Structure 1
Amino acid sequence: MDWLGIIHTVTAGSALLFGPLVFFRRKGTRTHRLLGYGYVVSMLLLNATALMIYDLFDGFGVFHWAALVSLVTLASGFVPALLRRPQRTWIVWHYMGMNWSYVGLCAAAAAEFLTRLPAFIPRVLDYVPGSFFWNAVGAGTFIICGTGWYLVNRRRPGFALVQRMLDNN
C-alpha cells in the first residue's frame, strides 16, 4: 500500500471512530464541536485522497462520484452549523447532513469489507452469481443505507423542534 492508501485508510478509520463519539455525546458542547471538527477534517482528507486514487478504473469512476456526494453531505451538515444559517432550520440541515455523511461512510466501509471477503473466505465466490465485486458493493451499500435511512428519520429533529422554533418567531 502506498502513502495515499495509508492516509486514506487512516482517515477512514478516524472518521469511523469520531462519528459515534459525536453522535452519542451531549450536543452543543465544546466537546461535541471539537469531536465534530475531528470528524470533518478526517472526512475532508478521506475524500481528498479518494479523489486521487485511480487504480480501480484507470480514471474517474463511480467511487469518485461517491466521494463528491460525500463532500456535499458533509458540507450540507457542517456549513449550516458553522454559520447558524438558515436561521430557522440550520439544526435540521446539520442533523441530516452529518448523519447522511456518516451513513455514506459506513456504506463505503461495508462495501470495502465485503469486496475483500473472498481473500479470507474463497468459497463465498461459489454462492454469489455474477460479479462478486459489484454484488458486494451493492449489497453493502443497500443494507447500510436502508438501515441508516430508518435510524436517521426515526430520530429526526425536524418536526417538533423546527415547529417550536417557527412558533417562537
Structure 2
Amino acid sequence: MPITVLHISAALLSVLLGAVILLARKGTPRHRRCGRVYGVALLVMVASSFFITDLRDGWSVFHAVSILTAALVLFGWWQPVFGRSRAGWVRRHMLSMQLSYLVLIVTGTAQFFDYLPLPNDALNAIVFLQLPLMVGIVAIIRRSRRPIGSHDSLPSSP
C-alpha cells in the first residue's frame, strides 16, 4: 500500500472517530475503545507523514505539526492511564485530545490549500485556517474551564 494512501486513510478514520468521540457520552467503554483507535490512527498518520516528502519538495511545516499532534495524543493518552492519581487529569485529557482533533481538521484543510475557493491566498488563509483555529482554540479553552461534572470521579481502572 502506498504510504500516501495509508496516511490519508488514517487521517480520514481519525476525523470520523474524533467526531464520534466529541459527540458521544464520555467515560463509557465505547468512548475508550473509539479513543484508542483514534489515537492509533492519528499516530499512524503522524508516522506515515515523515515518509511523504515529495509533495512539497522535502520537509515542510506539516512535519512539525505532526510532532505537535503526536505530543498532544500521547499526553492525552497518558492522563487516564497514568495521571489518575493527580487532580485535573480529566481536564488535561480533554484539552489535549480536543486540541489534537482541531489540529487534525485545520491541517487537513491546509493540505488542500491550493484548491480552496476564495480568490487569493490571504483570504483562504483567514477564512479556512486562522479563523477556525482561533475559534476552536477559544472554544476548547472556554470549555476546559467549565465544571466537568461527574467525570472527575470516574473509576480508576482504565
| TM-score, scaled to structure 1 | 0.77
| Residue 79 (structure 1) aligns with | 78
Contact 1:74-1:97 at 8 Å conserved across structures: yes
Any conservation in 2 of the 1:110–1:144 contact (CA below 8 Å)? no
Query: Identity over aligned residues, as a percent?
Result: 25
* Mapped contact 2:62–2:107 kept (Cα < 8 A): no
Offset at 1:41? 0.8
What is the aligned partner in structure 2 of residue 107 from structure 1?
106
Q: Which residue of 1 aligns with 2:131?
A: 143
Matched residue type, 1:70: T
Structure 1 regions of 5+ residues with no counterpart? none
Which residue is equivalent to 2:5? 6
Relative contact order: is structure 1 or structure 2 higher (C-alpha 8 Å, sep ≥ 6)?
A: 2
| CA displacement 1:116-143 (0-9 Å, x = unmatched) | 23xxx6xx5xx31xxx4x8745653312
Q: How many residues align?
A: 150
Displacement over 4 Å in runs of 4+: 134-139
Deviation at 1:86, TM superposition (A): 5.5
Relative to the length of structure 2, the TM-score reads 0.82
Q: Which has the larger radius of gyration?
A: 1
Q: What pairs up with 1:23-102 in 2 under 5 angstroms? A: 23-85=22-84, 87-102=86-101
Structural RMSD (CA): 2.4
